[in-house]
Amino acid sequence: MKSPRHLGLMMIISGATLWGLSGPMIQWLFNYTELSSTDFLVIRLLLAGMFILCSLLFTKQNIFEIWKYPRHWIQLLIFAIVGMLGAQYAFIETVHISNAVTATLFQFLGPVLITIYIAIQHKKLPSFMQVIAISAALTGTYFLITNGSIENIVLSKQAILFGILTAVGFAFYTLHPASLIKQWGTSIIVGWGMLLGGISLFLYNQEFHFRYVANTLTMSTFSMLILVIISGTLSFLLYIGSLKYLSATETSILSSIEPLVAAIVSIIWLNESFGAYQLLGGIFIIVAVVFLTMPEKSSNRTHVRKEETLSA
C-alpha cells in the first residue's frame, strides 16, 4: 500500500494539474463559443456551488447553521459578491481578453499583495526574504506585461487592468473569510460563496438566459464546459484532501506547477506563443511565491487559504 505521504503528494499534484488545465480549457471555450465571461461564470458558480453544498448534505453536515448568525452571513455575502464573484470574474475576463497563462500568473501575485498588506497592517517591515520575493514578483510582472521593452507593451490596457484586479480579488477573498473558515470550515464557506455569487450575477445579468446558452453550445463545447466545472471542483477537493497528509509549505510549493501546466498546455494545444522575457517573467513570479512560503508560517497559512478557494 502507498504511504499517506505518497497519497498526499499524488493528490496535490493532481489537483494543481487540474487547475492548471482549467485555464486553457476556459480559453478554448471562449475561442469556439459565443459565451461571454458572465455567461460562463453564472453556470460555473451555480453548478459548482450546488455540487459542493449537496456533497456536504450527503455527508450529513449542517450547511444552514451559519444563517442563524447575522454577523456571519453578512460577512458571507460580502465574501460571495466582492471576493468570490469579483475575483473569479476578473480571472475569467483576463483569460477572455488575453490568455490562460497570463491570468494564472496574475493570480499568483495574490500572496505578494497579501505580504505587503500584512506588513502595512502590522506596521512592520517585510523580512529580507519577503523583500526579495516582492522584488522578483514586480520584475516578473514587468517582463510579463512588456516582454522586456516598455515601448512595446504586449498586453492591452484591459488585460493589465483585469489582471491586477485578479490579484487584488484573490488577495481579498483569501484574507476576508479567514474567521468564517475557522468557524465553519472551508467547504461550507466556499460552497455558499460560489452559489451566492452565481445567484447574484444571474440576477444582475438580465441578458443571461439558459435557453440562449443551451442553443449556442454544441456537443463538443457542452462537454468541455462540463469538464471545466468538474476539473475545477475536483481540484479543490484534491487540494483540501492533501492537507491531511502534507505540510502547508509542501502543498504551497507543489501548487506552483499550476502556471507551468497552463503554459505547456497553451503552447502545445492552443498554439499560444510567448516572448522569452514573458516566460522569464512567469518564472520570476513563481519563484517569488515559492520564497514567500518558506520564511514564515503565517505566509504559509495565507497561501493555503488562497489555494483552497481558487481550486473550486
Q: Could you write out the DSSP letters of every residue in 211-263?
A: HHHHHH--HHHHHHHHHHHHHHHHHHHHHHHHTTTS-HHHHHHHTTHHHHHHH
> DSSP assignment of 138-199, as one string?
HHHHHHHHHTT-TTS--S-HHHHHHHHHHHHHHHHHHHTTHHHHHHH-HHHHHHHHHHHHHH
pLDDT at 252: 60
Evaluate whether 121 touches 62 at the Cβ level (below 8 Å). Answer: no
Per-residue pLDDT tens listing for the chain (312 residues): 457 778 888 888 888 889 889 889 999 999 998 888 888 899 989 998 999 999 899 988 999 999 999 999 999 999 999 988 998 899 999 999 998 888 888 987 887 888 888 888 888 888 888 888 888 888 988 888 888 877 777 888 999 999 999 999 888 877 888 788 888 887 898 899 999 999 999 988 877 777 777 888 889 999 999 999 888 778 877 876 676 777 655 666 677 778 888 888 988 898 888 888 888 988 888 888 777 766 454 444 444 444 444 444
pTM of the model: 0.80
Look-up: residue for cell 460562463? 40
pLDDT at 175: 81
Evaluate whether 249 touches 293 at the Cβ level (below 8 Å). Answer: yes
**Burial class for 68, CB neighbours closer than 10 Å (0-12, 13-18, 19+):** exposed
pLDDT at 299: 42
Going by C-alpha positions, the residue among 105, 88, 107, 4 that lies closest to residue 46 is 88
- Distance of CA 5 to CAs 12, 82, 231, 305, Å? 11, 36, 23, 21
pLDDT at 161: 94
For residues 94 and 205, give the distance between their C-alpha atoms in angstroms, rounded to a whole number. Answer: 19
